[in-house]
Structure 1
Amino acid sequence: MHIDQQISHNLRRIRKAKGLTLEKTSELTGVSKAMLSQIERGVSSPTVARLWQIANGLDVSFSSFISNESSPVENLNNATVSAIHSLENWVNDDLYVNVIFPFEASVGFEVYELGLKENYEHKSDPHNIGVIEHVICISGKMAVYCDGTWHVLGNGQAIRFSGAQTHSYKNIGNGHAVFHDIIYYPQNHN
């Protein structure tokens, strides 16, 4: 299933599971009822920032919108092999997102592989309080903006920071920058 279809399906599923109308979902997320309806019908594709806004408003993980429901045992023999050249996981022309492990309440985190095209900067709005991000540069050279400063990462280098602040990821090298992002949610998070 293409990422847009996955988002559409999961938004509708999450909203109905919480017993919410589009109007109530709009109130909680700050996203218009019309836009939510368009996303659910697959007519509109939300930006990453808009999807985070919806996730925060509904108090769910980001990966709950872009992942398939899966079995409790997952075989990830190729987890270290980047699938960055697969077109279906590119959110836009500059940002690649692949869910390695979707959010699971029993462990409280989700794991992503992200790719940034050369010179691309992705800005992220603050997440809910208590969310901690762990960024590990897998290849390329990148910088992470948090706590008011840029932190440069090369292959194998990592940083941990509070996701409850505006933060950015920027490719500052040649070619793609690929990194893993482990996002921890506090125990009261769904």
Structure 2
Amino acid sequence: MQSVGDYLGQALKQLRSERGWSLDRAAQACGVSKAMLGQIERAESSPTLATLWKIAGGFKVPLSAFIAAPPNELEVRQAEQLRQRPTSDAMLVAPLFPFDPRYGFELLELTLPAGYERLSEPHDTGVTEHVTVIRGAMALLVNGHWQALEQGAAVRFAADAAHGYRNPGSEPAVIHNLICYPAAQSR
């Protein structure tokens, strides 16, 4: 099985190649240094989640494009087997359904460790997130306010504004995050 770092590096290199971008051009588009992009491509460095989001935004692709390939039809996926730490961030990610342009969304299982907090910069215009708390409890930052969410709670919000995730508890919180991309951005 291919390591997360190797997959991420190959995906980044392939996207650059498909677009005919140099490392300089990619760095300009992503707001990430040329040196860092080169290290990621060579699997010499694991980016933070914030850096990976910047790269995805610069290439106008969903985050899961760097984590896993879309599954085959009728492929049964087990979160336990998919759970990984794709960045240097403490959050675990299981790409249940990586982005597929036919559908325009990605479905991720996120495990937020106890005491974890992640502030996210705005995604592209029109991106929406649908968060469902599967286990534990969390707080979601939307419109400048933290909203407590208990197990079983579900909420949809415009992710094209700053938002955040927090686990104030002493046990990990597990959520499903369905991220929908407008048709123009889901290429």
Q: Does TM, scored on the shorter chain, surpass 0.5?
A: yes
Taking only the aligned residue pairs, the percentage that are identical comes to 39
The partner residue of 1:181 within 177, 180, 186 is 177
* Within-5 A mapping of 1:44-59: 44-59=45-60
* Within-5 A mapping of 1:1-190: 1-76=2-77, 78=78, 82-83=79-80, 88-89=84-85, 91-92=87-88, 94-189=90-185, 190=187
Decide which moves more: 8-17 or 62-71.
62-71
Q: What TM-score results when the alignment is normalised by the length of structure 1?
A: 0.90
Give, in angstroms, the shift of residue 92 of structure 1: 4.0
Residues 115 and 169, structure 2, Cα contact 8 Å, conserved in 1:
yes
Give, in angstroms, the shift of residue 66 of structure 1: 0.6
SS at match of 2:110: strand
Q: Runs (4+) of structure 1 moved beyond 4 Å?
A: none
CA gap 1:104/1:69 in 2 versus in 1, 3 angstroms: closer
SS at match of 2:32: coil
Structure 1 distance, partners of 2:12, 2:156, is: 29
Structure 2 distance, partners of 1:29, 1:92, is: 18
Structure 2 distance, partners of 1:73, 1:84, is: 17
Unaligned runs of at least 5 residues, structure 1: none
Unaligned runs of at least 5 residues, structure 2: none
Structure 2 distance, partners of 1:166, 1:144, is: 11
Amino acid at match of 1:7: L
